[in-house]
Chains A and B, each alone.
Chain A
Amino acid sequence: MAAEVVMRVWRGDSSGGAFAEYRLPAQEGEVVLDVVHRIQATQAGDLACRWNCKAGKCGSCSAEINGTPRLMCMTRMDQLPEGPVTVAPMRTFPIIRDLVTDVSFNFEVAKQVPPFAPPPRPEGGYRMAQVDIERGQEFCKCIECFMCQDVCHVIRDHEENKAHYAGPRFFIRFAELEMHPLDTNDRRELLRQREGLGLCNITKCCTEVCPEHIKITDNAIIPLKERVVDAAYDPVAWLGRTILRRRKASPNEAAAHGR
């Protein structure tokens, strides 16, 4: 173990900034967040970073460590290459200060998701088989670190897409609801028209950075794309709907349903 760690931490705000270098004695077993905390306590009290649980469970301390989105609390210093460690804020979101970004985009998208809408609860409670909920449980592991959003190139370098694109975090939320055995809501037209599911070109960058190892692309986005395509473009389904006069829910109807 080297005797000293060198950290290059981005400091600044929405008007601009630069990397500042900090040198500290190395300590055994530390994660990046530990070193940031030591910088705060001894050299730069106002160095801004988010963190809560320091155990990989809350998803607050996302940052780009040596250029890769990671949780600072789960990145061990001794597993990074030797030499200076750079820590920068997530690039896809506007800077508030230092490592803290304005992630309100995500909370706005969350409001657009039509909620879970189950049938009335039967006497004795709902029954669901474990096998039928396991896929949904995979998506529920999401800790909302927003690193999948950060790395998604539909919005990473295209601010203009944010107005009509939900992003991987919310595609797994939609998938969780769409695959919930009890849900009665239909969100497929909403996904197609407003949430920009078609913009995802399945490069799997989101899956690569997910700290919960959720298979975002394979298990959520691709199945959703199939469902949306089936609903919107499949001629047999169209014929069936026309004959049976079953109309698709409009995005607004889907959003209103279940509130």
Chain B
Amino acid sequence: MAEYETHDYDVIVSGAGGAGLRAAIEAKSRGLRTALICKSLLGKAHTVMAEGGIAAAMGNVYPEDNWQVHFRDTMRGGKMLNNWRMAQLHAQEAPERVQELEAWGALFDRTADGRILQRDFGGHRYARLAHVGDRTGLEMIRTLQQRAVALDVAVFMECKILRLLSDADGVISGAVGYWRATGDMVVFSAKAVVLATGGVGKSWKYTSNSWECTGDGHAMALWAGADLIDMECVQFHPTGMVWPLSVRGILVTEGVRGDGGVLRNAEGRRFMFDYVADMFREETADSEEEADRWYADHSAGRRPPELLPRDEVARAINTEVKAGRGSPHGGVFLDIASRRSPEYIRRRLPSMYHQFMELAGVDITAEPMEVGPTCHYMMGGVRVDAETGAATVPGLFVCGEAAGGMHGSNRLGGNSLSDLLVFGYRAGMGASDYAEGRTGTPAPNQAEIEHTVAEALAPFERDDGENPYELHHRLQDTMQDLVGIIRTGDELDQALERLDELVFLAGKVKVTGGRAYNPAWNLATDLPAMLTVSRCVTLGARDRRESRGGHTREDYPNADPEFGKVNLVQRQPSGGGMAEEIKIGPEPIPEMPPELAALFEEGH
């Protein structure tokens, strides 16, 4: 018999980034017994790294902005693969969610008349991002954290959830995990579970993501019988640091380009003018003069091509580097020094200034930055109901990066923080409604608990076995080399073979030392989720034989209208686990109602 402590709540939320905090606040405000569980200390989740802002059509800078324009930008940015209803709710509700943050104490930068200032970002027609310099994520997580503390939400810090638990009827009824400080096991029973576990970037070698982004929620939902969609759609942010090697991948905010920064190759050419896709040609400037007029007045010229959606910019940089026109360390140059005053740069981009000064010895007010694509965001995720965040298994709700559909095949910058707020709130409501309506006491399956605990502790029992760090590095090399920004069928097949081998080896991991705060063991327990998600990404990438948004196939370079009508859905029908079979197949995306479809016709 496994030893563990037990806790009982109405709603448990796994993950304490923006989405998890917002969901927990909602459930607690409704009077439900609510627990928030996170792998790190409270306030350290990956949301804290978000820089640019929260996209919300408040119209404070451009009164002509409204939810329809934001909706249209979002759908076009996602190459129309988005769940239209999620994109609509997101565009309609983001302004209220931002105002709410302000009422909870957030201090956004202001317009001259005292309202919330909004900044330009890629793919957004109008200046739309509510922000605080380049540290918006910090302001958001701190505000939500303080709100959750004021409401007395129960917080379980440094507690890793291993698996969801269901009852005899297959209804999600809790979760099992362990305290990192002691290694002691803990079981939660709950009437509803919200997963807000964030991204998956730690499967790649060069990523902007923090150590926590191991796809726990994606994997746990799949193992528990939920559907995942569009897992091949991974965003490579165009501008990560490339040097020094030890900081390669750390994010350089899109705000640099929104505030006037431009991309140049080794020849000094503003190469983005050479990469404007037909879909965006009409609204993009065709000369540097026109582009430069736009920053001060959006009616004086069309948008600079540096502010195309992220997938377009990342591919362009990749092409320039491959063609031999890259910077000394394999990126391109991002130049704001020659275009804005040092005072302006330090005021608008203080953390970028410090990041480059302290980590790379580069003064961005005097010299250009070297940047290149870095694995940044998972558009795919758990298939959810737009209104409530309900997954396809009862009792489970998912929000934030762990949920799929909202961003289609490519997310616009700024739409992530707003996604966390809008759908964190909705999943909190959905889970609360479900918990209130659920009768009886949740009874998690005992055998699932025993099995999970035994599996988690197995690495201590082995006399000999694999080093978890070594396996993690091999996984990162595999995904970086074979399932990166540009993919081909042959390489994806190779990746699947290597992943099978890594899954086999991950079943033989050995760790030494005790259970108390043992990072090797913590990593060993993250590996099953990372490997599961990596398999899903690779399977999706193999089967989506087209290029769309964050998914680019060298052997199928164009978008295929038929693939544009389907989500690739993955599930594990015969048992959940990293080594179990994954079924994948196309299913039609929800059809947009005519009044919304009309927004995409000529003249809009």
Task: Give the B-binding residues of A (Cβ under 8 A).
Answer: 13, 27-31, 34, 40-42, 45-60, 74, 76, 96-98, 100, 102-103, 107, 110-111, 113, 115-116, 118, 121, 125-130, 133, 136-137, 140-144, 177, 180, 258-259
CB contacts (< 8 Å) of A76 on chain B: these are 358-359
Contact A121 B103 (CB under 8 A): yes
CB contacts (< 8 Å) of A107 on chain B: these are 41-42, 155, 157
B445 interface hit (Cβ, 8 Å): no
| A50 with B40, Cβ < 8 A, contacts A128-B114, A130-B109 known | yes
CA distance A97 to B211 in the complex (A): 19
CB contacts (< 8 Å) of B359 on chain A: these are 29, 31, 55-56, 74, 76
Contact B246 A30 (CB under 8 A): yes
| A136 with B107, Cβ < 8 A, contacts A46-B519, A52-B212 known | yes
Among B105, B181, B354: residue with most chain A CB under 10 A: B105
Q: Give B263-301 as 1s and 0s: 1 = Cβ < 8 Å from A's Cβ atoms.
A: 000000000000000000000000000000000000000
Which of A41, A50, A127, A180 is B114 in contact with, Cβ under 8 Å?
A127
CA distance A148 to B351 in the complex (A): 20
B30 interface hit (Cβ, 8 Å): no
B212–chain A nearest beta-carbon distance, Å: 6
* Number of chain B interface residues as a range: 35 or more
Contact A29 B244 (CB under 8 A): yes
B243 interface hit (Cβ, 8 Å): yes
Contact B132 A60 (CB under 8 A): no
Contact A60 B519 (CB under 8 A): no
| A126 with B102, Cβ < 8 A, contacts A46-B521, A140-B132 known | yes
B578–chain A nearest beta-carbon distance, Å: 21
Q: Give B440-470 as 1s and 0s: 1 = Cβ < 8 Å from A's Cβ atoms.
A: 0000000000000000000000000001111
A97–chain B nearest beta-carbon distance, Å: 4
Closest 9 A/B residue pairs (Cβ): A29-B244, A46-B513, A45-B520, A127-B114, A116-B105, A41-B469, A115-B150, A48-B517, A130-B110
Q: Give B510-535 as 1s and 0s: 1 = Cβ < 8 Å from A's Cβ atoms.
A: 01111011111100000000000000
Q: Which residue of A lies closest to B102 (CB)?
A: A126
Which of B135, B245, B519 is A47 in contact with, Cβ under 8 Å?
B519
CB contacts (< 8 Å) of B41 on chain A: these are 50, 60, 103, 107
CA distance A137 to B134 in the complex (A): 12
B340 interface hit (Cβ, 8 Å): no
CA distance A60 to B49 in the complex (A): 12
Contact B105 A125 (CB under 8 A): no
Q: Which residue of B lies closest to A55 (CB)?
A: B250
Among B45, B467, B473, B516: residue with most chain A CB under 10 A: B516
CB contacts (< 8 Å) of A100 on chain B: these are 181, 517
| A111 with B142, Cβ < 8 A, contacts A27-B246, A45-B520, A52-B40 known | no
Task: Give the A-binding residues of B (Cβ under 8 A).
Answer: 40-46, 48-49, 99, 102-105, 107, 109-110, 113-116, 132-133, 135, 137-139, 142, 146-147, 149-150, 152, 155, 157, 181, 210-212, 243-247, 250-251, 351, 354-355, 358-360, 467-470, 473, 511-514, 516-521
CA distance A237 to B592 in the complex (A): 65
| A57 with B473, Cβ < 8 A, contacts A128-B114, A140-B107 known | no
Contact A180 B517 (CB under 8 A): no
Contact A128 B110 (CB under 8 A): yes
CB contacts (< 8 Å) of B109 on chain A: these are 130
CB contacts (< 8 Å) of A56 on chain B: these are 351, 354-355, 358-359
Q: Which residue of B lies closest to A213 (CB)?
A: B354
CA distance A107 to B115 in the complex (A): 32
CB contacts (< 8 Å) of A118 on chain B: these are 103, 105
A251–chain B nearest beta-carbon distance, Å: 16
Contact A115 B116 (CB under 8 A): no
Contact B146 A53 (CB under 8 A): no
CA distance A158 to B152 in the complex (A): 29
Q: Which residue of B lies closest to A28 (CB)?
A: B244
CB contacts (< 8 Å) of A31 on chain B: these are 246-247, 359
CB contacts (< 8 Å) of B139 on chain A: these are 140
CB contacts (< 8 Å) of B467 on chain A: these are 41, 45
Q: A52-B48, A55-B247, A180-B107 are in contact. List 11 more A-B contacts (CB 8 A).
A: A45-B467, A45-B469, A53-B44, A54-B211, A60-B41, A96-B516, A97-B517, A110-B146, A137-B107, A143-B138, A144-B43
